[in-house]
Structure 1
Amino acid sequence: MNIEISAQSVKELREKTSAGMMDCKKALIENKGDFEKAMESLRQKGLASANKKASRITAEGTIQSYIHTGGKLGVLVELNCETDFVARREEFQELAKNIAMQIAASPSVEYINLQHIPNIIVQKEKETESLKEDLSKKPPEIREKIAEGRLQKRLKELTLIEQPFIRDPSITVEDLIKQTISKLGENIQVRRFERFILGEGIEKRQDDFSTEVNKLIKK
């Protein structure tokens, strides 16, 4: 039985997935008009395509900045792609802005991905979780399993691409990047980032107010 697919459904699916019109129509036909299944099918194909491009060299791109209101927090991020043509695309620039904003909104994030976390940090976090008081009376195998689960959760808190995207928490930053890869047809990688907090690292003067008052009285 032929499924009648409306132009409106195809248009709506394209707007939500950024896939081509024919791909959207094909996905709807294959999923018998089920919009949600068609959207998931396109998402999976897009992610698979993005994974294939992950090893390609990225030497072009942009350095994007984000300054939070008040000028007390700033972020610089380098986002790379394969060609200058894609680097100038509006979608690529928008992705860079979103990632810079994500970093500003994620104070716990220190690394791009799990592979970038130094082993010494992983071991330190593992030891911290293993020694927590609430695990002390549990059997060793249970304690280790719980500690490992907590460790993985903690490591994800430290990494950028594992974060729920601030504008759509149903996807991660990694998903967002892969969606853009699928749309633009090039590998895209976050190379590095830096967060700047006004006054960070400067020893601020901590005056004891009562002591200062006594000094003034004695003068």
Structure 2
Amino acid sequence: MAITAKDVAELRQRTGAGMMDCKKALEEKNGDMNAAIEYLRKKGIAKAEKRADRSTSEGIVGGEVFNNGASAALIEVACETDFVARNEDFGKIVTALLAHRIQSTAADTEAFLAEPMTGSPSESVEEYVKAAAAKTGEAVNVKRTVRFDAGANGQVGMYRHHNGKLSTIVQVTASSPEVANHEATKDLVKYIAEHIAATAPIAVDRRGVPAEKLEAEQRVAEGQAREAGKPEAMIEKIATGKVEAFLKDVTLMPQPWVRDAAITIAQLVADHGKKAGGEITVDRFARLQLGAE
């Protein structure tokens, strides 16, 4: 039986499920509307979809380092209440999704959700999440996920806050595999991941700050200087100085280390490179905090 757009729209209106879920249900049940509704209910899709617009401000940010320290993954799984977030069953859901992320090389969250779920290839990751929502009785969704793979000359470190709501990963490249796998390098990535959790930098260094952001900061600083009555000839120089101070504050490398404010992260990296017998460069980092963008 041919499935029409009208049929799909009617099923969506009656169940609140997504268009693709409705189309699949109708195809599975040869266009039988009632059977398709039952199919969606058994899958937990209709129930989960109706909850999709609820606020999901609680949850867990899971993370793991693997491949002998060369790879790491983070995943933010949100739910509605702290009660569910602390529930053992919700923890198992996050563990299963993280296990899949370790197997997955998806470039982004959308691609990740579209993949067949590890251990249950008949359903996608997104379908697994919807079924999980039905079991918890709350809206559940994967908000963000990220994975780093550093390669032979790299090392990845992770920090996970004790409350499970904040995790960070950082990737470095060393001058050789021996330097990458040295204990000093392994200590370094842990220190930096912890630092990133505390200070929330926006980029590794000034090269990672979007040009439009710098231009906006320059305009604001110039406006402030004019409001303060500074001479027009001095305004650009004053504003440039403020932008430089801004960059030192919000980028990783010039920040004072949270464990010892007498040294910067750049100095920390150089010192640990020497201990490891080579050079180390910080490539990138990710910071996932529950509910933050």
TM-fit CA distance, 1:114 = 1.5
Match of 1:106 in 2: 199
> Structure 1 residues 161-170 or 60-69, which shifts more?
60-69
Match of 1:170 in 2: 262
What's the TM-score once normalised by structure 2's chain length?
Answer: 0.46
Match of 2:249 in 1: 157
Contact 2:153 2:175 survives alignment (8 Å): yes
2:163 to 70, 91, 97: 70
Match of 1:139 in 2: 231
Q: Distance in 1 between matches of 2:230 and 2:185?
A: 49
Q: Give the aligned residue type for 1:100.
A: A
Cα-to-partner distance string for 1:147-168 (whole Å, 9 max, x where unaligned): 2211110111121001001111
Q: Distance in 2 between matches of 1:184 and 1:71?
A: 31
Q: Give the aligned residue type for 1:123.
A: E
Q: Give the aligned residue type for 1:164.
A: P
RMSD of aligned Cα (Å): 1.9
Q: Give the aligned residue type for 2:172.
A: L
> Structure 1 residues 163-172 or 138-147, which shifts more?
138-147
2:187 to 86, 94, 106: 94
Q: Give the aligned residue type for 1:65.
A: M
Correspondence 1:85 to 2:85: no
Closer/same/farther in 2, CA of residues 72 and 134 from structure 1, 3 Å limit: farther
Partner of 1:199: helix, strand, or coil?
A: coil
TM-fit CA distance, 1:200 = 2.6
TM-fit CA distance, 1:145 = 2.5
> Structure 1 residues 191-200 or 136-145, which shifts more?
136-145
Match of 2:288 in 1: 196
Contact 1:75 1:196 survives alignment (8 Å): yes
Match of 2:209 in 1: 117
Closer/same/farther in 2, CA of residues 135 and 152 from structure 1, 3 Å limit: farther
Q: Distance in 2 between matches of 1:161 and 1:133?
A: 28
Identity of aligned residues (%): 33
Q: Give the aligned residue type for 2:154.
A: G
Q: Distance in 2 between matches of 1:64 and 1:182?
A: 19
Partner of 1:200: helix, strand, or coil?
A: coil
Partner of 1:131: helix, strand, or coil?
A: helix
Q: Distance in 1 between matches of 2:226 and 2:219?
A: 14
List runs of 5+ in structure 1 lacking aligned partners: 1-57, 202-219
Partner of 1:111: helix, strand, or coil?
A: coil
TM-fit CA distance, 1:82 = 2.5
TM-fit CA distance, 1:135 = 3.7
List runs of 5+ in structure 2 lacking aligned partners: 1-150
Q: Distance in 2 between matches of 1:113 and 1:154?
A: 12
Partner of 1:186: helix, strand, or coil?
A: coil
TM-fit CA distance, 1:121 = 1.6
The aligned length equals: 143
